[in-house]
Each structure stands twice: as structure tokens, then as C-alpha cells.
Amino acid sequence: MTPSVDDQTVSPARRWNYWLGGKDHFQVDRDSGDRIAAAYPAVRTAAQQGRAFHNRAIRYLAGEAGIRQFLDIGTGLPAPDNTHEVAQRIAPDSKVVYADNDAMVLAHARALMSAGTTTFVQGDLNDPAAILAADELRETLDLTQPIGILLIAVLHFIPDDEKARAVVAELLDAAPPGSYLVATNSTKDFVPPHVAAVYDQMLAAGHVDAWPRDKDVFGSFFSGLELVDPGIVAISEWRPSQDDRPSAAEVSMYGGVGLKPR
């Protein structure tokens, strides 16, 4: 049964779409996005750079690393250069499973599905076991072969660090050696104290729902993995494709790619 679209509750996926300049959002999402942007103007840059990091990481996995299977959790609404589009431009035989719990994402995802190569699982990152056990995933991905697990701008919606670590560990335990984790998380490490204080106030008041993490905590998600150079850095600094890129403070998000050793 497809869940109904709730246009009265903020959706992180729709708000992200708003910041990216998309059209799939409601007034409640725009109000939330504007409130956050008023306190933290760089958020739109962070959204755009998050997409750019995603694209560079996928190109690395499908190109240099030779990955042909991808599990993209918290995929969000379709935008230019979705995971399957980036991967299949490099390797047409790439297979992608998207997972999200947003009803609007599910409705749009149906248009992206391609039998045998791209499919969608209705699931929540807080319950990785249900995602991994889904028939759609099992019919598309071979979990005896390496996969790329993508957790882009989604881990920070799990406020408890231990819970987030447990979720990542469960996903990696199900992936064979040679698999990769690609993850990002918002951070206050790069912003001045007064900006961090405003964010904390908004978080306490429930006006934002992304829980920032410092480098050490974010790095713990990659425990046991071999970090791909340049390691854990601001997303704009991970193998950048341009010299005039935004500063770390303008994106305020860490990113990293790690390999599960063979």
C-alpha cells in the first residue's frame, strides 16, 4: 500500500528539492527551508555541493573501483544526475536500488524504475534489516558481490550517535568485502561560534532536524574501512573538479568514501 503524501508536515526530501531549485515541494517545506536559510544562508550551497559530491563519488565507484551495484538509502526526490544515471553512463550494466520512506519520493521513483537494473524499496534507514530483506533488493542486487552503499545527507536525521553507528554497521555487515560506503553528515566544525549557537537554538526548538557531527564522530562510521584519499573532508574538498569551489564553512558537511577490506 502506497502511503499518502502529507502536505502539512515538513519533508526533508522535499525541502532538499526546494534548496536545489526543484519544483516538488509544498509551502510547509518552503517555510522550513527559508527559516533555516535565514539563519544559515550557506544551506543552499551545501545542498548543491552535496549533489556534486554524490556525482564525483559515484563516478569513482563505477570507474576506478569497478562497482556495478549500488544501494542508495534516503535517495530523495529525483534530480539531474540520479545515481543510476551517473553510474550507467560509465557502466551500462550497473544496478541500483533506491530506498526512501517519503511517499512523494516513491511516486516519482516509479518513473525511474527499469526492470532488472533500477528499482525502489519503501524503507527507513532506521530499519536497515527491512531494506536488506526486501524482495525488490534481493531481485536486483547480488549481495555476494561488492556493492556501493550510499548514505548521502541522511545520517544526520538519526540524532543518536550509537544508533547511527549501529545502522551503518548493520548495512556493512550485509555487504561483502570489496564493498564501499559513501556517506555525508552536516557539521558545525567550520562555522563561527555565533553561527553554531544559532543552529543549536533552532535544533532545540525543533526548527531544524539535521543533527551535526564533528569529524571524530563522523569518522567513527567508517571504523574498520580503508578510507579513500583524501579521507574525511568537507564535501567540496573531496576530489574537487574545480578550483573556485566553496569553502568548507560554506558547505558545512563532511563526506567520505571507505572500502571494506578483502
Q: CA of 181: how far to CAs of 133, 146, 225, 231, 256, in Å?
A: 19, 11, 8, 12, 8
User: Average pLDDT for residues 121-125, to the nearest whole number?
Assistant: 92
CA–CA separation, 252 vs 246, rounded Å?
A: 10
Res 79: pLDDT? 66
Residue carrying C-alpha cell 549481495: 143
- For the entire predicted model, the pTM comes to 0.88
Res 199: pLDDT? 86
Checking if the pLDDT of 122 tops 80, the result is: yes
pLDDT > 90: percent of the chain? 58
The rounded mean pLDDT for the chain is 89
Count Cα neighbours of 231 within 13 Å in the Cβ-side half-sphere.
Answer: 5
Radius of gyration of the chain (CA): 17
pLDDT tens profile 151-210: 999 999 999 999 999 999 999 999 999 999 999 999 999 999 988 998 899 889 888 888
> Across 9-23, 113-127, 151-165, which has the greatest mean pLDDT?
151-165
pLDDT tens profile 61-93: 999 999 999 999 987 766 668 899 999 999 999
pLDDT > 70: percent of the chain? 90
Is 12-259 assigned to CATH 3.40.47.10? no
